């Protein structure tokens, strides 16, 4: 395991010096340790923060994924980042921010490392491990609050495995997760990577705010590993299988179940299945 | 489910003056509503031109509540309804609870966006309109609250 602290000043300077990025980000905070960057950002949003905030932590003691599942968040190795926004869009348009953020993360990683990474719908960040399938580099969890019709804060939380070695992962994650260091063989400058991520996320988020959601969804389709694959969909009430065909104009995944039936998915967990071999 | 079966469901809905009908089997579920019909997951099913076009809508008008004193908390997005933050913890609220404005009532999830829905009034929860883990439409009533 290797360790060096992030440089909040470098990230702030980068945000200020980038015309597009400074439209989105006005404040960068770096904490040594928090419970969860999403939890802190959501609380700040609920307390009236105007948005445009990047919140980073070297360590999370209560990092979480979907349905409060724990997110492995060791100190000084990974990126734990939450972006607090107040989009000037109706709440019903917020879900598209999920794959849009994933596009930004994927493009930022590609720019920094040259790796080919992609999205498992709606927003897991994966690397193609050939015959081993795909391995997870990171995840994204968005959270918001709604009270009546009030404009609400949106928090985009990103957890990315950066400088971990294989043995640093808990045993149950070693076959399914990976890190940028494992994939590149190099220690990654996390501050520089955060800058690349924010620059690319800003492109996608600002495009959504400017009404260009279809351009963003084209990027999602172009970077989505799920499309064309046989998949299993697990929802709270059922499990079914089909082939991921496309992503529609609202970001939903279209699954072909047979000749006559295509199902539209906005919820549920996707598992990529192996192709049947003859 | 084929088109003929869906047509029969629509006829059943109209003939019996029902407001909604839901059918589920091992691999699909269809929910039809009159006036404000919502086709949830099987949106890709080809629907003939003579079928009610409203069955393809993902929007609905707010529920009409006969008792104007009651307040409806509605879903701001299409998604899945959860009464708690994770399966192993208690629901945010139970039927009959007194709630305060700003108190979290539930989560509606879409594409890994977890949206906490807060009450916009003080009052008592007199109806929980949706079952745990079911799909909800934009504008669908989730809770009925009797304002304090």
Looking at residue B27, its pLDDT comes to: 63
- Mean pLDDT across the stretch A239-254? 94
Give dist(CA B53, CA B46) in Å, integer: 12
How close A150 comes to chain B (CA, Å)?
10
Q: For residues A101 and A143, what is the distance between their CA atoms, to the nearest angstrom?
A: 13
Q: Would you give the DSSP letter of residue A104?
A: H
Record: fold of A8-222: BirA Bifunctional Protein; domain 2 (3.30.930)
Q: Which of A82, A124, A146 to mutate against chain B (most B CBs within 10 Å)?
A: A146
Q: What is the mean pLDDT of residues B1-29?
A: 65
- Locate the DSSP E strands across A200-268: 230-234, 239-247, 253-256, 262-265
Alpha carbon distances (Å) from B99 to B59, B123, B145, B147: 28, 5, 9, 9
Torsion of CA A6, A47, A51, A268, to 10 degrees: 80
Whole-angstrom distance, CA of residue B109 vs CA of residue B13: 29
Q: What distance in Å separates residue B107's CA from the closest CA in chain A?
A: 9
d(CA A80, CA A249): 30
Q: Which residues of A touch B102 (CB under 8 A)?
A: 147
Nearest residue in chain B measured CA to CA from A158: B112
**Chain A interface mutation, best of B58, B92, B114, highest count of A Cβ atoms under 10 Å:** B114
CATH class of A230-272: mainly beta
Contact B113 A95 (CB under 8 A): yes
Between B26, B87, B117, which is nearest A67 by CB?
Answer: B87
Q: Where are the alpha helices (DSSP H) in chain A?
A: 8-17, 19-24, 37-46, 97-113, 180-184, 190-209, 213-222
Shortest Cα distance, chain A CAs vs residue B1, angstroms: 9
Residues of B in contact with A257 (CB under 8 A): 27-28
Residue B12 — pLDDT band, cuts 50, 70, 90? low
pLDDT at B48: 34
Spatial distance between the Cα atoms of B4 and A276, rounded to a whole number of angstroms: 33
pLDDT at B47: 34
Sheet of A239-247, strands arranged across:
A262-265, A253-256, A239-247, A230-234, A269-272
pLDDT reported for residue A227? 96
H helices present in chain B, as ranges? 3-15
Residue A167, pLDDT above cutoff 70: yes
Verify whether the Cβ–Cβ distance A92 to B28 is below 8 Å.
Answer: no
List of chain A residues whose C-beta atoms are within 8 Å of the C-beta of residue B57: none
In this structure, are residues A82 and A157 in contact, taking their beta carbons and an 8 Å threshold? yes
Residues A59, B45: Cα–Cα separation, whole Å: 47
The residue in chain B having the minimum alpha-carbon distance to the alpha carbon of residue A242 is B27
User: How far is it, in rounded angstroms, from Cα A59 to Cα A78?
Assistant: 8
Angle, vertex CA B66, rays to CA B63 and CA B68, nearest 5: 95
- Nearest-CA residue of chain B relative to A97? B113
Q: Which of A91, A98, A261 sits opposite B44 (nearest CB)?
A: A261
DSSP state of A271: E
Q: State how far the Cα of A278 lies from the Cα of B114, in Å rounded to an integer.
A: 41
Between A131 and A59, residue with greater pLDDT? A59
B61 pLDDT above the threshold of 50: no
Per-residue model confidence as pLDDT tens digits over B65-107: 456 789 999 999 999 999 998 888 999 999 999 999 999 999 9
- CB spacing of B85 vs A68 below 8 angstroms: yes
First to last CA, chain A: 43
- Domain boundaries along the sequence of chain A: 8-222, 230-272
The closest CB to that of A267, out of B27, B80, B117, belongs to B80
**Residues A112, A235: contact at Cβ < 8 Å?**
no
Determine the Cα–Cα distance for residues A184 and A162; give it in Å rounded to an integer.
10
Average pLDDT score over residue span B115-121: 94
Q: Which residues of A touch B (CB under 8 A)?
A: 66-69, 90-92, 94-99, 122-123, 140-148, 235-238, 240, 251-252, 254, 257, 260-268
Rounded-to-integer distance, Cα A80 and Cα A139, Å: 10
Cα dist from B25 to A217, B28, B133, whole Å = 32, 6, 16
Burial track B42-65 (b if 16+ CB lie within 10 A, e otherwise) = bbbbebeeeeeebbeebebeeeee
Question: What is the C-alpha to C-alpha distance for residues A15 and A142, in angstroms, rounded to an integer?
Answer: 22
Given an 8 Å threshold on Cβ–Cβ distance, is B29 in contact with A237?
Answer: yes
Per the DSSP assignment, residues forming a β-bridge with A54 are A28, A83
- Rounded CA separation B145/B143 (Å): 6
The H-or-E segment that residue A118 falls in is strand A117-120
Contact A95 B46 (CB under 8 A): no
Does residue B4 or residue B146 have the better pLDDT? B146
pTM, entire model: 0.82
How is residue B46 written in tokens? Answer: 């080809």
Q: Which residues of A touch B74 (CB under 8 A)?
A: none
The average pLDDT across A81-105 equals 95
Domains A8-222 and A230-272 belong to one CATH topology:
no
Interchain pair A262, B44: CB under 8 A? yes
| Cα A194 to Cα A104: distance, rounded to the nearest angstrom | 11
Distances (CA, A) of A169 to A73, A101, B50: 10, 25, 57
ipTM of this complex: 0.91
Subunit contact B29:A66, Cβ cutoff 8 A: no
Q: Categorize the per-residue pLDDT at B24 as very low, low, confident or very high, splitting at 50, 70 and 90.
A: low
Residues of B near A (CB-CB distance < 8 A)? 2, 24, 26-29, 41-46, 76-80, 82, 85-87, 89, 101-102, 104, 109-120, 132-135, 138
């Amino acid at each position: 395991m290797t360790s060096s602290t992030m440089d909040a000043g470098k990230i702030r300077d980068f945000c200020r010096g980038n015309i597009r990025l400074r439209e989105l980000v006005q404040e960068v905070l770096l904490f040594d340790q928090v419970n969860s960057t999403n939890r802190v950002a959501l609380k700040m949003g609920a307390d009236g923060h105007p948005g445009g905030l990047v919140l980073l932590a070297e360590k999370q003691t209560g990092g979480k994924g979907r349905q409060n599942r724990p997110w492995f968040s060791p100190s000084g190795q990974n990126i734990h980042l939450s972006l607090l926004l107040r989009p000037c869009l109706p709440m019903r348009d917020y879900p598209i921010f999920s794959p849009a953020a994933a596009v930004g993360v994927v493009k930022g990683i590609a720019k920094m490392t040259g790796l080919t990474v992609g999205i498992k719908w709606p927003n897991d960040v994966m690397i193609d491990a050939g015959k081993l399938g795909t391995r997870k580099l990171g995840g994204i969890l968005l959270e918001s609050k709604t009270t009546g019709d009030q404009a609400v804060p949106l928090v985009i939380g990103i957890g990315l495995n950066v400088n971990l070695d294989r043995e640093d992962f808990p045993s149950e994650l070693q076959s399914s997760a990976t890190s940028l260091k494992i994939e590149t063989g190099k220690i990654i400058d996390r501050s520089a990577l955060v800058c690349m991520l924010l620059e690319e996320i800003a492109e996608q988020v600002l495009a959504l705010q400017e009404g260009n959601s279809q351009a963003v969804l084209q990027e999602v389709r172009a970077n989505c590993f799920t499309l064309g694959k046989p998949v299993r969909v697990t929802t709270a009430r059922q499990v079914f299988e089909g082939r991921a065909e496309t992503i529609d104009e609202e970001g939903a995944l279209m699954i072909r179940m047979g000749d006559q039936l295509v199902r539209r998915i906005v919820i549920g967990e996707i598992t990529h299945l192996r192709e049947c071999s003859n | 489910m084929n088109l003929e079966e869906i047509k029969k469901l629509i006829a059943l809905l109209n003939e019996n003056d029902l407001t909604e009908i839901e059918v589920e089997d091992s691999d699909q579920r269809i929910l039809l509503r009159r006036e404000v019909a919502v086709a949830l997951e099987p949106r890709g099913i080809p629907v003939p031109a003579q079928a009610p076009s409203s069955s393809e809508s993902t929007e609905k008008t707010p529920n009409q509540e006969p008792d104007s004193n009651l307040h409806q908390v509605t879903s701001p997005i299409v998604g899945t309804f959860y009464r708690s933050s994770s399966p192993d913890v208690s629901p945010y609220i139970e039927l009959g609870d007194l709630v305060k404005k700003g108190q979290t009532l539930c989560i509606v999830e879409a594409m890994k966006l977890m949206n906490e829905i807060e009450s916009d009034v003080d009052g008592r929860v007199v109806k929980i309109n949706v079952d745990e883990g079911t799909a909800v439409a934009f504008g669908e009533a989730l809770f009925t609250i009797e304002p304090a």
